[in-house]
Amino acid sequence: MGVILKELQRLKKSQVYFDANIFIYALEGIDPFCKELEDVFESVDKGNLSALTSELSLAECLVKPIIVKDLKAQEMFDKTLTDSNTFKQFL
């Protein structure tokens, strides 16, 4: 069992904060993190881990897509981070 999976077992039913880097690495497919993060997002999807994020994370994720006018990436980050069924907003 990998380090990430062991840590997910330890954190089961916990609340964790996801900053912008988690989303950027996962959604843009940045190695070596994107593969490890699949297990993290799967744990959230299954309800084994409760994830929190904030509007600041969304703002940070949107910087590059806005600069390069990548509307597809903007929509992807916006949809993912504002999905209230998956991520609770930390105010």
Top mean pLDDT of 17-26, 27-36, 38-47 is at 17-26
**Token pair 């996962």: residue:** 26
Is residue 71 scored above 90 in pLDDT?
A: yes
What predicted TM-score, i.e. pTM, was given to this entire model? 0.81
Q: Which of 20-24, 53-57, 79-83 has the lowest average pLDDT?
A: 79-83
**Token pair 């309800």: residue:** 47
For residues 33 and 66, give the distance between their C-alpha atoms in angstroms, rounded to a whole number.
23
β-pairing, 87-89 with 15-17? unpaired
Mean pLDDT of the chain: 87
Top mean pLDDT of 7-11, 12-16, 31-35, 63-67 is at 63-67
* Domain range annotation of the chain: 3-86
